[in-house]
Every structure is written in C-alpha cells, then in structure tokens.
Amino acid sequence: MGVKFDLNDGVALLTIDRPQARNAIDGATALAMSELIQRVNSDRDIRVAVLTGSGGHFCAGMDLKAFLRGEVTRLPEVGFAGVTQARICKPLIAAIEGYALAGGFEIALACDLIVAAEDAKFGLTEVKRGLVANAGGLVRLPRQLPRKIASELVLTGEIYPASLLSQHGLINRLVPSGEALNAALGLARHIAANGPLAVAVSKQVLSESQDWPSTEMFDRQNLLTAPVFKSADAREGARAFAEKRTPIWRGE
C-alpha cells in the first residue's frame, strides 16, 4: 500500500515504502498515509509518531509519472500525501536520510521535529519542473527559516545539504548517516514518556498561537491549558513525583 506501519511502546512508525521511486508519492500512497494519520489521531495507544522512508531516502516528492496519469496525491482537507494540511494531534517527527525534495521536503515541514542524517539533501525543486511549492513550502518555510534563506530555496529550486538547514535552526538533530531513524525514535520515546494530555495541548498551543494577537494570546492559551491542570494526569504526575516513581498516565 506504499506505507508500512509499526507501533511499539506508544511510538508509531510510518515508513513510506516505494524505494524504487525514492519514495515519491502516488495516489495509493497518499490515501494510505491519510488513513494512517487518522489512526495516529484516534488511537489512544499512540503517543508520538515518527515518519521516515525506506531504501535510504525520505521522499522525493510527488511521483511525476503518477501526476501524468492523473492520480490524486493532494487530498481534500488533508493536503499532499495526506499530511501537509492534516490536523495531527500527536507529535510527528521526521527521520530523514537521503533526499527530502519538493513535496517530500514539504512533508518534513509539516512535522513538529526533524532529525536528519549529516549527508541528507533538501530542496524545493518544484520551479525546475514548472510547478510551485504550494504544499507548504511557500507558506511554512519562511516561518521556519530566515526569509532570505527561504527565498533562495524556493526561487532557485536547488538542492542543499542538511548542514545548511541545521545551521539556521530547521533541524533538531543532525546525526551520522544511517542513524536518523534511531535518533528520531529515541526522541519520540522521551516525548512518549510524558503526560499525553499535556503533550497534546502543548502541541496545539504551539501550532495555533502563531496567528494569535498578542493582546489575546494568554487568554486563548488559558482556555486550552486550564483543563490540563484539573486532569487526573496532573494529579498523577504530582503524586508520582512525591512518591519517586514513574507516572502511570491515563490521558485524562
């Protein structure tokens, strides 16, 4: 189906599995990814998700052969590959080896965290094919990188090393080649050990507050966060600290 799924200790692993096409997204893969993102949102056993690619590459973007065949890779409401416009309630971490190009780069931009191999390559190459990076590149990249750097990536369509993007703060962990997935899973396990309700609300505020007026941001934040302080998990966290034990989270 183009995507493999595994779940261990609260961490879901989604692997784009079209190595023969550098994991480029065709219609079937977009549908499969959308269904798995819905599962990540709804499954209480999932605390964090990691998204990666098989065969040494993350994703080369839209499968241009599928595009010419008229396949739909941009789905209503959830966007390219079922990811770029989706509302994802759990933290999503990109683990990147090899190429993350065009739509593949835009998938990574939709993730909360990025772990990349030192020799990974990134590029918004759409303009080289007469296309535009409208799956998030044009609107997300200037919010995640300095505007001049973002403009260079968008307008030249060139491919850049992970080290450049790391230098400007886009990448959370830069690791040796072949270690991106292990590092991302380690980061995911740290997040999964925290209170799931607190993590989900924290992610929501981080995402939504970018557009809040400064005069309203604390009021809006308090509406979302106040229930966390009244939750069973908050009491369990305090109790576990006092009793010097690991918390047992209920997500409520």
Structure tokens that stand for 65 in this block = 């052969």
Contact yes or no for 56/22 (Cβ under 8 A): no
Encoded amino acid at 41, one letter = N
Closest to 141 in 3D by CA, of 95, 93, 106, 91: 106
Sign of CA dihedral 210, 213, 218, 222: negative
Active site residue 126: yes
The yes-or-no answer on residue 106 being catalytic is yes
How far, in Å, CA of 153 to CA of 143, rounded? 13
Report the alpha-carbon distance of residue 52 to residue 57 in Å, rounded: 8
What is the rounded CA–CA span in Å between residue 114 and residue 135?
17
Q: Which of 71, 106, 216, 236 is catalytic?
A: 106
Ranges of H-type helices in 69-193:
103-109, 137-144, 147-156, 162-167, 180-192
Do the Cβ atoms of 95 and 50 come closer than 8 Å?
yes
Residue whose structure tokens are 């190009």: 101
What are the beta bridge partners of residue 100? 59, 122
35, 126, 152, 158: the active-site residue: 126
The catalytic site residues sit at: 106, 126
